[in-house]
Amino acid sequence: MSQVYLLPVVTFLIFQVTFLGTYIFAVLEGHVVPTVPYISDAATYSPESCVFGQLINIGSVLLGITIYVRYRQVLQLYEHHPDLDGSVLRQNRLALWFGLVSCLGISIVGNFQETNVRIVHFIGAFCCFGCGTLYFWMQALISYLIFPMSGTRINAHLRLGMSVVCTILFILLAVTGVMSHILFKGQNPRKWYPSDGGWYLHVVSSISEWIIATIFSFFILSFTNEFRDVSLSHPQIALMSYSTTI
């Protein structure tokens, strides 16, 4: 399989279609107000919640595969370039686990709506954005360590910049989100109006979430050029009762 570079592209497109499509559908159905709702608020009610959950599951699987391919790519680079810093292996292993936990968080957010299982939804969101941001930091550091064997200095700088922005926005999202819900006096947070209280904090929080989600997608997309040097093979399957390897 030589078209591995398409994996980040397809993952990027899946997430963008999911986020924007769900938002547009929810607004047209009257389930949310157009003024920047949370991504998950737009996916609270059916039928958009069903489509959102299905696409998010597909996206999280593709993202997990992308993260694993990146892990194996760095592993192969280290094996072919033993002069690389030994910390690359530790950072690569940590990045893999942070990335996979983030994928699990994305799936949890898509399948456990805030209105139904609030605590589980928030745990999923924390895993998604928190571990995702840590994954970005790990990958930014790895990008510097493996240059010039793979990647470019510009890519490393961009990943570092996206990591810094995501960290700031993650803190802003959490703080303003909690404060806005404390000040909220309305009936339905999916239809949050200025008169309900905490509206400006809500807008800051939801905008932060949309920007983080967009940066997440572009961060994964940044692996495209480096994946052009990667090729995948079908896994070997050995039958226990035979000596033949298929």
Helix (H, G, I), strand (E, B) or coil at 45: coil
pTM of the model: 0.88
Do the Cβ atoms of 7 and 227 come closer than 8 Å?
yes
Do the Cβ atoms of 195 and 25 come closer than 8 Å?
no
Domain ranges for the chain: 5-227
pLDDT for the residue 135 = 96
Question: Residue 245: beta bridge partners?
Answer: 238
Count Cβ atoms within 10 A of the Cβ of residue 1 and give its class: 0-12 exposed, 13-18 middle, 19 or more buried. exposed
Q: Which helix (H) or strand (E) holds 40?
A: none
pLDDT for the residue 85 = 74
Q: How many whole angstroms separate alpha carbon 72 and alpha carbon 150?
A: 13
Do the Cβ atoms of 47 and 70 come closer than 8 Å?
no
Neighbours of 147 (CB within 10 A): 13
The gap from C-alpha 233 to its chain's centroid, in whole angstroms, comes to 26
- Digit-by-digit pLDDT tens for the chain (246 residues) are 568 888 999 999 999 999 998 989 888 888 888 878 888 888 888 888 888 889 999 999 999 999 999 999 999 888 888 777 778 889 999 999 999 999 999 999 988 877 778 789 889 989 999 999 999 999 999 999 888 888 789 999 999 999 999 999 999 999 998 898 888 887 777 777 777 788 888 889 999 999 999 999 999 999 999 988 888 877 788 777 765 555
CA distances from 221 to 43, 63, 95 (A): 24, 11, 17
CA distances from 192 to 26, 183, 202, 203 (A): 14, 12, 8, 9
Q: How many whole angstroms separate alpha carbon 90 and alpha carbon 168?
A: 25
Count Cβ atoms within 10 A of the Cβ of residue 93 and give its class: 0-12 exposed, 13-18 middle, 19 or more buried. middle
Question: Residue 238: beta bridge partners?
Answer: 245
